[in-house]
């Protein structure tokens, strides 16, 4: 088996179906398998979809222990020499993305992880210029940095080049040799419930001297949302997990006063922005966006309270599998 395509699901069955159908319509040119890992959706649809796609291997996780855990669980059953991880809200196109990534990996022995272009709804290009510093995960700071250091960035990542080596790759699709995935211990499921796994993986790839590659002349579609935008509660949880994982990432890779300063600034920025949005949303509390803003502030306050009491930045969902 050359390729194992792994798709992690949490209550995103209709998108999973579209993703599988797109793979069948635009299959890789080599022998491959498709594995769907259900992170304990508890919606009664697992059997229905496993019967709808008998050629796909469906795995049921015992709980929703996060993105990293689900991916690692699926990778244990993968037979392919190379692994391709897909979000459920992605679709293949006429562009031979997987074949191109495979060809690149076979020609470059220093390959760590590879990705391709992602096209959002409206035919918009997803962000490709990425930075591994926590400061630059903040949109306003990142925009200012890109403006100030535009020439430096353009020199490192020339617009007309089909191959980039960015600091990290977004995880809606990523390709990795199975032996490299095993060598770095997979994704860091003990640290992150959701988000920042890709940045953590980039650190691991750098540590073993392998490359991070973005191939810019092939693409997939990415609806960008999936199960994270089902309802206000789910939206609030996933947005709070971005904030939580940022603190875990800082704790893991930034020590001393720099780390302390990062934590303080992120707390102030997160709570300040969320409080402002909650106040603005109060007159519209019956709308989904209004409810999501208020729930997000509540999630954040509870998280910081737990972090203060437990002296631990990690998400409480890592141990309980809560959703």
pLDDT (tens digit, 9 = 90+) per residue, 238-259? Answer: 899 999 999 999 999 999 999 9
115 and 217 belong to one structural domain: yes
Place 321 in a pLDDT band, splitting at 50, 70 and 90.
Answer: very low
Place 230 in a pLDDT band, splitting at 50, 70 and 90.
Answer: low
Q: What percent of the chain has pLDDT over 90?
A: 81
63 and 201 belong to one structural domain: yes
143 and 285 belong to one structural domain: no
**pLDDT at residue 284 above 80?**
no
Q: Over the chain, what is the mean pLDDT?
A: 92
Q: How many CA atoms lie within 13 A of 210 on its CB side?
A: 24
pLDDT (tens digit, 9 = 90+) per residue, 178-192? Answer: 999 999 999 999 999
Residues 6+ apart with CB under 8 A from 218: 95, 96, 97, 100, 101, 116, 117
- Mean pLDDT value across residues 107-132: 94
> Could you tell me the two tokens for 99?
């074949």
**pLDDT at residue 49 above 60?**
yes
121 and 237 belong to one structural domain: no
* Number of domains present in the structure of the chain: 2
Q: What is the CATH number of the domain that holds 105?
A: 3.90.550.10
The residue range of the domain holding 252 is 231-320
Boundary residue ending a domain (200, 227, 254): 227
Distance in angstroms (rounded) separating the CA atoms of residues 53 and 58: 9
Q: Could you tell me which residues are beta bridge partners of residue 35?
A: 6, 57
Boundary residue ending a domain (227, 245, 276): 227
Distance in angstroms (rounded) separating the CA atoms of residues 226 and 128: 20
Distance in angstroms (rounded) separating the CA atoms of residues 232 and 42: 19
203 and 112 belong to one structural domain: yes
212 and 258 belong to one structural domain: no
Boundary residue ending a domain (188, 210, 227): 227
Backbone angles phi, psi at 9, to 5 degrees: -120, 140
SS3 content of the chain, % helix, strand, coil (to 5): 50, 15, 35
218 and 138 belong to one structural domain: yes
- Mean pLDDT value across residues 200-210: 96
117 and 154 belong to one structural domain: yes
Length of the chain: 323
12 and 161 belong to one structural domain: yes
Whole-number pLDDT of residue 144:
93
**pLDDT at residue 138 above 80?**
yes
Instruction: Check if the beta carbon of residue 100 is closer than 8 Å to that of residue 218.
Output: yes
**pLDDT at residue 175 above 60?**
yes
42 and 135 belong to one structural domain: yes
235 and 130 belong to one structural domain: no
Whole-number pLDDT of residue 261:
95
> Could you tell me the two tokens for 151?
């020439």
145 and 249 belong to one structural domain: no
């Amino acid at each position: 088996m050359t390729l194992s395509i792994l798709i992690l699901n949490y209550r995103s069955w209709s998108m999973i179906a579209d993703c599988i159908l797109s793979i069948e319509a635009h299959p890789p040119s080599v022998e491959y398998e498709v594995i769907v890992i259900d992170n304990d959706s508890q919606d009664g649809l697992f059997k229905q979809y496993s019967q709808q796609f008998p050629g796909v291997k469906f795995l049921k996780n015992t709980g929703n222990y996060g993105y990293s855990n689900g991916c690692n669980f699926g990778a244990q059953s993968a037979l392919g020499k190379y692994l391709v991880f897909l979000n459920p809200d992605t679709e293949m196109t006429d562009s031979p993305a997987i074949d191109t990534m495979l060809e690149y990996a076979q020609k470059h022995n220093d390959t760590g992880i590879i990705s391709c272009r992602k096209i959002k709804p409206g035919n918009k290009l997803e962000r490709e210029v990425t930075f591994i510093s926590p400061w630059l995960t903040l949109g306003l700071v990142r925009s200012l940095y890109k403006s100030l250091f535009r020439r430096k960035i353009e020199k490192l990542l020339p617009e007309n080049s089909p191959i980039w080596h960015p600091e990290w790759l977004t995880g809606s699709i990523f390709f990795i040799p199975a032996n490299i995935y095993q060598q770095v211990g997979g994704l860091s499921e003990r640290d992150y419930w959701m988000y920042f796994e890709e940045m953590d993986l980039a650190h691991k790839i750098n540590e073993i001297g392998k490359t991070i590659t973005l191939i810019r002349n092939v693409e997939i579609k990415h609806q960008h949302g999936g199960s994270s935008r089902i309802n206000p509660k789910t939206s609030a949880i996933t947005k709070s997990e971005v904030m939580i994982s940022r603190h875990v990432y800082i704790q893991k890779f930034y020590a001393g006063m720099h780390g302390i300063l990062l934590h303080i600034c992120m707390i102030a920025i997160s709570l300040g922005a969320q409080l402002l949005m909650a106040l603005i949303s109060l007159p519209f509390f019956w709308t989904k966006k209004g409810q999501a803003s208020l729930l997000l502030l509540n999630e954040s306050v509870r998280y910081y309270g737990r972090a203060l009491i437990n002296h631990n930045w990690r998400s409480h969902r890592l141990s309980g599998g809560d959703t």
